[in-house]
Structure formats: structure tokens, C-alpha cells
Amino acid sequence: MQAINEIGEENFYDLEVPVQHHYFAEGLIHHNSSKTHTCAKYALCDYICWPECTLIIMSSTTGPDLERRVWGDVKSLWRSAKEAWGDIIPGEIIDSKKCICTDKIGDDLSIARDMRKGIACVPCRVHGGAGLTSFSGVKQKRLRLIGDEMQLMLANYLDAPASMNNGDFKGIFLANPLGDGNPFDRVSEPDTGWQGFPEPKKTTVWKNKWMNGRTINLVGTDSPNFDFPQDKDHPARYPYMVSADSIERLVSFYGTNSEQYYNKALGVRRSGAVARKIITRDICETFHAFDEADWDGGPIVKIGALDAAYGVIGGDRCIGGHIEFGNVKGRSTIIVRPPHVVPVHAGQGKPEDQIAMWILEYCTANDIPPENFFYDSTGRGALGIAIARVWSNKVNPVEFGGNATNRPLADVWIVDPKTRERRRKLCVEEYSKFVTELWFMVRLTIEADQMRWLPRDVAEDGYPREWKTMPGSGKTCAETKAEMRERTGCSPDKMDWLATAIEGARQRGFQIAKLQGSDNAAADWSWLRNRQRADAEIVRSSELVLD
């Protein structure tokens, strides 16, 4: 936090630009810069000075993350202040609600607390919701919002600040940059756009697009530790901040061209960060995937799908829902209906039976026959048995593991290594795993301009996932869910659901235009083959023939 310390705490909010008394400040900050702890200090100081007319909302991803991060800092600092100053420090901790409330009721149950005064900590990646919706439209003279780990938030997180933007409002958003179109990528974007924006080498401040705010980028290699010698005889002066040793350990494991290096060592958004993303916001917007659409008329096919998980095991959610395909403006198009988190509760029967009952009820309500229902069956044989018992054995398992299929790619031509004939390349020759093929089919559907009504939270689930080229084979391979979860803290459950649904649509007749190829594509190269034969004939005609 070197830049802020030089400015002075009392002038920190002066970095924000007023827009009719509305204030915004965003920080693109290295993960070892004490940003959460520092913002907890500012929040408490701001609240303690005006406890009767201030509401400070502090958000993070989940309840446990709040305990480990901002709520843990707030409690610790408030208790230290209370020990030092006693009743001068306002408020009362309500740990069950993760808040500090100005009103103290003690044993007098006739007094009702006003929950609009104090500090409230809110988890925002629970049940797919923003978590802040209950505060939309809340009225308070002084309103503050501090968003922690913004790079992991869903798109609808930004709906709440828009509705809070009235009166004396200030917002601070903190994150480690991922550069994949997440909410923080949007609020911190320079007013001139990310395209061509240089990577900061030193701590940098710029005006951003989001409501005329400011972005403060604290660069890891600009840490105060680098102002002093660092070697075995001189350990880092500030042990909790980024140092040469911490960067060296990270580089030795990930390398200097990795997202981990940019995210955890530099704290800088990597230029061209979307180059190895399978799904990107630009692709979705360019090919109108978020746009609305109306059917032309004619037959519409509904495809039900499920990405199964048993009670949020390993951070995964159980996602179910359906898509539809038919004609929009004479073109076969998929419309994506918003998916649902399937509730799986402990102590209410087997998870497989709970999921199977939800599938039965959902598909019945939406007129989806069992033969049009597809689910990820990877390691979930018991789920298929439960669905067959509760509903039907006509449902379709989709095994994410294993090799890609022998289906051809469009207009990608190779010479067969055995027959020496020219033919279209097969998916198994392009993709290392079936899950990679499934994800790229989602991308190809979007790029073919054949997807509409794509929910932004589904798209955002897919933005972080990267692909790489396998050494030796040269095949394209999507990173595993475990790798993505370790790198980003997110699991792409909703995009896995959509990939399953699109596979189901393809099996029921939907054709991706980019995969249909061209029947005369081989003929386009006939001139070359004719020229080769003619050249060969010329060579043979001039050869010496021995009698």
C-alpha cells in the first residue's frame, strides 16, 4: 500500500472522483499488499466517526472466506479498539450475522436494532446470487461498499452498486487481476480500454470506465521491500509483503509467462490475457450470444442437462436446466434458459435420489422427454441408476473423460498418414480429451452466431478456463477443473452444464454451421492436384528410358 501511505490516510478518499456526490475507487492490487486489512481499518475509522448515519457493506466470496479475510480483520481490529477505548468505541458484534450494529439492546427485548447502521459483511458467491440484492435500494446518509476478491464475483454483483449509487456513497473494490472479463476486469478497465494498455512496471493510477472512478495498481515488484537489499544476510524488511524471495519461489514453479506470475507476483493484468481462454467475453459479444431472440416458428427441441455434484463437494455445484433449439431468422439457433442450482441436502436421503427427483419434476414441468435429457456420468454410475428408478432408463449419460470423438472438424483438412488421401481432420486428432472437445463445441456454436439468451453468469463461469498445447502430440487440451480451481478459486459448473446440453442438442439434430464444412472444399484444391499431375507427366515425358 505504498502509494496510499505516501498520500496519507486522511486524504485517501480524495483519490476518488465525485460524480454528483457519488464516489468510486477501485484498486488493482498485489495479493501481498495488506489491502484487505488496510480497508478494514478505513472502514472501522469511517464508521466509528459517524456510527449513527453510516452503513458499511463489506463483501467477499463465501461465509468461510469472510471469516478468513475481511470479517476476521474487522472483528480483530474492533476488539483491539474496544480494549483500548472501552465504551467510546460504538457498536456491538453480532457474529452470527457477521456484522457490527450501532444499536445495543442488551437484555431489553423491547428495543429493535436498526440494521442500517453499522458494518455488514456479506458472502456473494453463494447459491449463484450476488448476495447484495437485499441491500439494493437501502437508504442511509453515508453508504460505503468494499468488495473483496472481486475477480471471483459473478456478473450480477455490479447490479447492487448501481442501485446504491445515491447520496454520500463511496466504493472500493479489491482484487488480484485475472483479465478474463470478470466484474473486476470491467470496473478497473481504463477509460481508453484494455486494448493496447501497457503493463504497469511501477505503482500506477488511472481513470477507469466505471462511473468515472480511479484504479490504483500496486505492482508487486514495486513493493517497499525492493527499496532495501534482499539476500541471505538481509531478509525482507516487511515480511508480510511481496519480496524477492517470494517471487523467486513462484517463478521457479510456474515461470514468468504464467498467469500465476502476473496474478500473484506482479499483481498486473497480463496483456493479451485472453489469448488462451476457450470462452471470452469478446467472443460472446461479437457473435451476439447475450442478445435476445424470437423463434421463427416451426419445431423447437428442448434438451435437458445436468452437471452433477453431491452437496457442493470440492466447491462444485449441482447445476440443472435446459436449452432449446430451432430457427431464428432462418438459422438453426440455440437459446439458453437460465440454469438452476439443484439443492442437495445432508440428512434428506441419498444425494442421487434427491437429484433424480429434481430432474423428474423439472423435466415434467418443462415437457422434456427422458430421451432428450443428458447428464455428466463421469464416475456417477449410482446417479444413472437413481434416475432410471425414479424416472426412466432412456436418459443419456455423457462421459466427460476419455478421448475426443472421431467426428470431423469443419474445413480443417489434412493428408491421412496411412492412405495419403486428403480428408477433414477429426476431433480426436485436434483435442486431447473429450471434455476439451465439448468446451470447444460451445465456442464454435457461439462463433457460428448460433447462440442467444446466454446468461452472463454462465458465460463468466467459462471465462477463466485456459487451454494449452500438449507437448509431443500438439493437441489442444483444456486445463482440468482441479487446475482451474487452484488457479482461480472457481469451478466452471455452469459452463460444464452448457457443454453437456450442447452435446445433447448435437445428438438430437442440431448442427453447428462451422462444423458442416463445405462439400466442394476438396474441389477447391483440384487445381493443385491437376497441376501436380501435369508436372509429374512432364517429368516422366523427359525421363530417359533404358531398353
Q: What kind and span of H or E run contains 381?
A: helix 381-390
pLDDT at 2: 31
Residue 474 sits at the vertex; the CA angle it makes with 473 and 478, to the nearest 5 degrees, is 105
Split at pLDDT 50, 70, 90, the class of 253 is: confident
Could you report the per-residue pLDDT of 94-152, keeping only the tens digit for each?
A: 988 899 999 887 655 556 778 889 999 988 876 545 567 777 777 889 999 998 888 87
Q: Are strands 319-328 and 142-147 parallel, antiparallel or unpaired?
A: unpaired
Q: What percent of the chain has pLDDT over 90?
A: 39
- Give the C-alpha separation, 258 to 90, whole Å: 46
In order of 132, 199, 253, 404, the CA distances from 408 in angstroms are: 46, 40, 38, 11
- Contact (CB, 8 A) for 159 and 182: no
- Contact (CB, 8 A) for 125 and 152: yes
pLDDT at 72 over 70: yes
pLDDT at 5: 32
What is the arithmetic mean of pLDDT over 39-45?
91
pLDDT at 469: 86
What is the arithmetic mean of pLDDT over 26-52?
77
What is the arithmetic mean of pLDDT over 350-357?
94
pLDDT at 279 over 60: yes
Burial string for 495-506 (b: 16+ CB within 10 Å, else e) reads bbbbbbbbbbbb
Helical ranges in 266-370 per DSSP H: 281-286, 351-365
Name the β-bridge partners of 24. 171
Highest mean pLDDT of the ranges 230-239, 361-370, 524-533: 361-370
Strand ranges, E, within 393-517: 396-398, 408-415, 422-426, 451-452, 467-469, 476-478
pLDDT at 293: 94
What is the arithmetic mean of pLDDT over 240-244?
85
pLDDT at 518: 44
pLDDT at 265 over 90: no
Q: What percent of the chain has pLDDT over 70?
A: 82
pLDDT at 211: 75
| CB-based burial label for 470 (10 Å; 0-12, 13-18, 19+) | middle
pLDDT at 531: 58
What is the arithmetic mean of pLDDT over 219-246?
88
Could you report the per-residue pLDDT of 512-531, keeping only the tens digit for each?
A: 987 765 444 333 445 455 65
**Cell for 414?**
489434412
pLDDT at 295: 95
pLDDT at 73 over 60: yes
User: Which has the higher per-residue pLDDT, 256 or 143?
Assistant: 143
Q: Which of 127-141, 178-192, 362-376, 389-403 has the lowest mean pLDDT?
A: 127-141
**Cell for 440?**
470447444
Largest separation between any pair of C-alpha atoms in the chain: 121
- Contact (CB, 8 A) for 280 and 463: yes
- Give the C-alpha separation, 206 to 215, whole Å: 5
Split at pLDDT 50, 70, 90, the class of 274 is: low
- Give the C-alpha separation, 428 to 401, whole Å: 13
pLDDT at 261: 82
The residues, ordered by sequence, that sit 6+ positions from 510 with a Cβ below 8 Å of its Cβ are 301, 325, 332, 334, 502
- Give the C-alpha separation, 220 to 32, whole Å: 8
pTM: 0.65
Residues 281-401+435-466+490-516, CATH architecture: 2-Layer Sandwich (3.30)
Sign for the pseudo-dihedral over CA of 430, 431, 436, 438 = positive
Name the β-bridge partners of 476. 431, 469
| Closest C-alpha among 372, 360, 376, 370 to residue 393 | 370
pLDDT at 313: 46
**Cell for 397?**
449419460
- Contact (CB, 8 A) for 232 and 158: no
**Cell for 379?**
464416475
- Contact (CB, 8 A) for 340 and 517: no
The residues, ordered by sequence, that sit 6+ positions from 346 with a Cβ below 8 Å of its Cβ are 311
pLDDT at 315 over 60: no
In order of 53, 229, 323, the CA distances from 232 in angstroms are: 52, 10, 60
- What does the mean pLDDT of the chain come to? 82
Domain residue spans of the chain: 2-266, 281-401+435-466+490-516
Q: Are strands 214-218 and 204-207 parallel, antiparallel or unpaired?
A: antiparallel
| Closest C-alpha among 328, 318, 412 to residue 356 | 318
pLDDT at 247 over 80: yes
pLDDT at 413: 76
The residues, ordered by sequence, that sit 6+ positions from 241 with a Cβ below 8 Å of its Cβ are 32, 33, 34, 223, 224, 225
The count of other CB atoms within 10 Å of the CB of residue 347 is: 4
User: Which has the higher per-residue pLDDT, 480 or 165?
Assistant: 480
Q: Which of 86-95, 176-185, 199-208, 266-275 has the lowest mean pLDDT?
A: 266-275
What is the arithmetic mean of pLDDT over 354-360?
96
Does the 2-266 domain belong in CATH 3.40.50?
A: yes
**Cell for 95?**
457474529
Split at pLDDT 50, 70, 90, the class of 165 is: low
pLDDT at 108: 57
- Give the C-alpha separation, 140 to 117, whole Å: 8
User: Which has the higher per-residue pLDDT, 128 or 209?
Assistant: 209
pLDDT at 527: 47
Could you report the per-residue pLDDT of 169-183, keeping only the tens digit for each?
A: 888 998 887 766 678
Split at pLDDT 50, 70, 90, the class of 64 is: confident
- Give the C-alpha separation, 4 to 12, whole Å: 6
